[in-house]
Chain A
Amino acid sequence: MKYLSDQVVSRLQAAVQSLDLAGTRYRALKFLGRGGMGTVWLAEDAVLNRKVALKVLTSDSGSEYLASRLMREAVVLARLEHPGIVPVHDAGTLADGAVFYCMKYVEGQTLDQHIANANLRERLQLLQRIAEPMAFAHARGIVHRDLKPSNVMVGAFGEVLVMDWGLAKVMETTSADTGNSNDGGAASQAGAVTGSPSTSHGTVLGTPGYMAPEQASGQVALISERTDVYGLGAIMSFMLGDSIDQQRELPAPKPLRAICQKAMAAEIFARYKSVREMSADIGSFLEGLPVSAYRENIVEKTVRLLRRHRAAVVLVAAYLLMRVLFILFSRR
């Protein structure tokens, strides 16, 4: 048996850990993790001297279907230029036949890690920021279909990015396509990838607990942006539930629970029409306004108004108290 020096051992370890990036501008730095469709690596772009993330489907996976799905994900991502969606820089095939795409390397935490120290208001604001790129994608006819806390990254500077568009579905037509000629162009581009592998009826793709019923039952034809509304509702439910467990706060206020329930309604048309509508309801709650998902009684309405106008109420109460005291003392 040949004796391997320390140098050879570490070289072999790097060789089996690393990708064969010969002939590319990238150099593998570190294995980051395994996703549903391949491995993700931290790499260095030698030309631009910056860190990037490479998502690679290993050549020994032996699946042309998965390879074309990965390429399709890259194409979908390339068409979604939004600050809340991780940008793709490059895509191709490595020397050993492995299909890859290169994207921005996001340093930060996944949503589930990040919210451990966030209060309720911060969590709701995060939800609104997740809704922004989702609304953008929906306007371009693309449904994510795998919204969950581990697919949302919160960057070092607070930026929120929706990741892992591997299960994204490109819709044939959208309302946004007809209303805006510029968007129509983008949508037609998106439509060009519908020819690549799509999901047939009966196929179940997604994450249990975050999948809408129509997705869990494989009714692909019923997938729409309301499927992502359900996913966002499931994330909201996770964030509210977590707040109870982790910080022993009071249970979430009824209007928030109602928003969650409406977003996660089993009946598709009972849900919010769009993530934008759901986000608006969350915004209303944050501003102390009534939310569309919840009909409050007179007591709740009074309490909400008192809270919303707390400063004015305190000022008026103080003024009245001073008047009373003034009258009492002036009579003596």
Chain B
Amino acid sequence: MDAISAAYWRPVYKYVRMRWRVDKEDAQDFTQDFFARMVEKEFLDSYDPDKGRLRTFLRTCADRLFLNQERHANRLKRGSSAVHVSLDVDEAEQELTAAPSTESPEDYFEKEWVRTLFALAVERLRAQCDAEGKKVQFELFERYDLGDSETRPSYAELAASLGLAVTDVTNYLAFARREFRRCVLNQLREMTGSEAEFRREAQSLLGVDPK
């Protein structure tokens, strides 16, 4: 459940902000309430993987809960639930402001889902590289693949700045990407509702059937 909350709170929060045009505090309350209810009411039990993706199910549940709360005007106040999910809404707000979207809320939710998946996989890779003493590999990956600038540094530039041979840069980057791919698959497994959904998502996202 922690994994689901960690992976989905950001897409849900941003989706509610976009879709229902609620302010920051209400979106935060709603997101907190949504995940608390997910635990307390165990509504994940009613999810049927054969009928659709987990993320579509969660988005539909968020819509239903929001409309229900609007109708009964009984939104829970922050902290009234026994379950608490850690939300860094300030960071999410900055992201919303920095990259305003012109897509439909549904498409935006999908995109945020992919972004969160990759971001969590990057964190996994960072932790793994730290634990295995492969910080150089992660640093190369970070500088080559995670940089925001349009132009990426060349392998030769990276090699010179880190005091490595160009072949080492090639090998280290290949390692980091291979491990990143593995991290994405592991993260994806936690974010999907069934083995069949996991394989479908992996096929569509990564172009692989993770046999």
Contacts and interface: CB of A to CB of B under 8 A. Distances in A.
Contact of B145 (A3, A6, A15, A96): A15
B206 A12 contact: no
B148 to A, nearest CB: 5
B170 A9 contact: no
Contacts of A7: 148, 150
B177 A15 contact: yes
A22 B172 CA distance: 12
Contact of B174 (A1, A13, A96): A96
A60 B146 CA distance: 24
Interface string B165-201: 0000011011101101110100000000000000000
Contacts of A5: 99, 148
Interface in A1-54: 1-9, 11-13, 15-17, 20, 22-23, 31, 34, 39
B91 A12 contact: no
The B contact surface, by secondary structure, is helix
Contact of A16 (B146, B175, B206): B206
A35 to B, nearest CB: 11
Given A6-B99, A16-B180, A22-B155, A34 B208 contact: yes
A130 to B, nearest CB: 28
Contact of B177 (A2, A8, A20, A34): A20
Contact of A31 (B119, B123, B174, B207): B207
Contact of A8 (B148, B175, B208, B209): B148
A39 B145 contact: no
Interface residues of B, number: 35
B155 to A, nearest CB: 7
Contacts of B147: 8
B178 A12 contact: no
B174 A17 contact: no
Given A23-B170, A96-B178, A8 B155 contact: no
Nearest to B91: A3
A17 B206 contact: yes
Given A15-B180, A16-B184, A34-B208, A1 B120 contact: yes
Interface in B116-130: 118-120, 122-123
Per CB-CB distance, the 9 closest pairs between chain A and chain B, nearest first, are: A31-B207, A96-B174, A17-B207, A16-B181, A20-B174, A1-B119, A95-B170, A16-B206, A12-B118
30 contacts: A1-B119, A2-B122, A2-B123, A3-B94, A3-B98, A3-B119, A4-B146, A7-B150, A8-B148, A9-B114, A9-B115, A12-B118, A12-B145, A12-B146, A15-B180, A16-B177, A16-B184, A17-B207, A20-B173, A22-B155, A23-B170, A31-B207, A34-B208, A34-B209, A39-B207, A59-B178, A60-B182, A95-B171, A96-B171, A96-B175
